[in-house]
Structure 1
Amino acid sequence: MRNGTIPALTLLLSAATTLSGCASVPASDPRDPWESWNRPMQTFNDRVDDYLMKPVARGYRWITPDFVDAGISNFFSNIADIRVSINDVLQGKFRQAGMDTARFLVNTTVGIAGWFDPASAIDLPKHHEDFDQTLGYWGIPTGPYLVLPLLGSSSPRGVIGLIGDTAANPISYTGLFTQSSALSTAISGGLGGVNAADLRADNLETEKIASEAAVDRYGFFRGAYFSQRDYLVNDGNVTDTDILDLDETEEKLSPVNPY
């Protein structure tokens, strides 16, 4: 697992533990009025994952040495720190913004364009902030559950957040540095493909545990999505009514999680 996977890993494993004890398929969630769209779309996404993403991820893991895999993950995590720093400021977390900006500068220079992560060794830890969290911080509700083609679990607020995250990603602006639109598309598409393969490879075991433990795979991912958003927007201070015991699970996982 690499940078950016803590919330997902925590949620998947804790939810898997919760749902494995259920004896029947969970009832429909009132936050999911578009279930008639969402379930078929998840089935479509699962098929794409089975026949495309999983084979690519396994091949990527097989041909990629561990130090290269770590470097690629660090590189994309370093780029994401730009987005993190911007959202720190938008949420009024100015001290954290300073830390994350310093983290980006250290890893970009000393860490050779983010290939290494020396910032973590000098007490500049990785944080996780995105535009969806910022919107939630300012009181905008998540909205109904929505499964996006290829992208998976989301919501109306999540879609807006995704647009903001894309705008904050420097890879989106490769066209400004090239004369050819075809070259720009190839560069941004290639980097996006490598990032997707790297993330999928890092989560192969996590997804397998979730799929085997959940009585209703669709209901599991729906509940995990809402719990993850609540966890992140509230900086881990989830309410007692949250379906997943995130803090306890993260503590149990901490010895094997390098992030």
Structure 2
Amino acid sequence: MPSALLPILKRSLPLVAITLLAGCTIAKPRTDDPYEKFNRDMYAFNDSMDKAIIRPVAVGYRKVTNPPVRRAVSDFFTNIRMPITVANDLLQARPMQAAQSTGRFLVNLTLGIGGFFDPASQLGIPLQDTDFGITLARWGVPEGGYLVLPFVGPTTARDVWRLPVDSYFFDPLSYYSRNHDFEYGQEYLPELFYLVTLRSRGIDAESFLQSAYDPYVFMRDAYRQQRLYELYDGNPPAEIIEQMQGLKDKNFDPDELLEEQHSWENKQPEQGKQPIKN
């Protein structure tokens, strides 16, 4: 994976979004990347950190747990961080969504035995996910330049603000670590365990990245498209999708792009066909 702590941003990486948005056409890589040299250096640094430390820990976690256990732990962390979504729904002036997320949080906290189970989904209460970056977007703050930060991964000049704001004001895990002081920094264990849990989910998506023509570009575009999907509640306008994909660019040639991809694949015939070791 391209980031040492990429899962801090989104569950399982934003790889599904690129498939959803691309549909039957080929998405042209975004070129408005003013900090690309810096970003690629940080991408390489994060990738090295991930391979050396984060991924081995996540693989070990998968080896000592089974899917039901991992699902229960994942449900717990998803629910305990629901106040982030509730708070940002209120900041976005969306009281109905805030009430719905509050109901989901309380149902899973009680009937779900602390959040280790997800009865709210069975009751038809959908899972919503938003943050301060989306809040700024809804109030008209422009996206700004794309950034890859060390130990964080992909973000933008706008989205980067969700890290301090959501973490400090709304995240119960961060609140817990700030208000407890144990030996050897044990107050940070819940946050570290959360990151390991999320990173372990990303292992299943690694084949997408391994088969990409340019992993950096793939992750950059996937991140931006995933954020666009969140901003429009999973249903972005067609014209915005076309603009992001570059379909309105008069110089865009999907056949040429496809030919480049096939040429790269032919040079590495086994790329993406090897099973991922975990």
State the TM-score bracket (shorter-chain normalisation).
0.7 to 0.9
Letter in 1 for 2:126: P
Where do residues 10-89 of structure 1 align in structure 2 (5 Å cutoff)? Answer: 10-13=16-19, 29-30=31-32, 32-89=33-90
**Does 1:146 pair with 2:147?**
yes
Question: Amino acid of the residue matched to residue 228 of structure 2?
Answer: D
Does the aligned pair in 1 maintain the 2:29–2:218 contact within 8 Å?
no
Query: Could you say which residue in structure 2 is the equivalent of 1:247?
Result: none
Q: How many residues align?
A: 232
Correspondences of 1:102-251 after superposition (within 5 Å):
102-167=103-168, 168-174=170-176, 178=180, 181-183=181-183, 185-187=185-187, 189-212=188-211, 214-238=212-236, 239-241=240-242, 242-243=244-245
Name the SS for the 1:139 alignment partner: coil
* Unaligned 5+ runs, structure 1: 245-259
Q: Look up the SS of the partner of 2:148 in the other structure.
A: strand
- TM-score scaled by length of structure 1: 0.81
Amino acid at match of 1:82: P
| Amino acid corresponding to residue 41 of structure 1 in structure 2 | M
Query: How far apart, in 2, do the equivalents of 1:121 and 1:236 lie?
Result: 21
Q: CA deviation at 1:183?
A: 4.3
Q: CA deviation at 1:128?
A: 1.2
Give the partner amino acid of 1:108: L
User: Which TM-score applies when normalising by structure 2?
Assistant: 0.76
Question: Quick one: structure 1 residues 122 and 73, their matched pair in 2 at CA, closer, same or farther if it must change by over 3 Å?
Answer: same
Other structure's SS at 1:106 match: helix
How much does 1:197 deviate? Answer: 1.1
| Aligned 8 A contact 1:153 1:225 in 2 | yes
Native 8 Å contact 1:86 1:97 kept in 2 = yes
CA-atom RMSD in angstroms: 2.6
SS in 2 for 1:203: helix
Q: Alpha-carbon deviation of 1:237?
A: 2.6
Q: What's the secondary structure of 2:113's corresponding residue?
A: coil
Give the SS at the match of 1:102: helix
- Cα deviation 1:219-244 (Å, max 9, x = unaligned): 11111121112111122232241339
Query: Conserved in 2, the CA contact under 8 Å of 1:174 and 1:184?
Result: no
Q: Going by fraction, where is helix more abundant, 1 or 2?
A: 1
| Residue in structure 2 matched with residue 257 of structure 1 by the alignment | none
SS at match of 1:143: coil
Give the gaps of 5 or more residues in structure 2: 1-9, 247-278
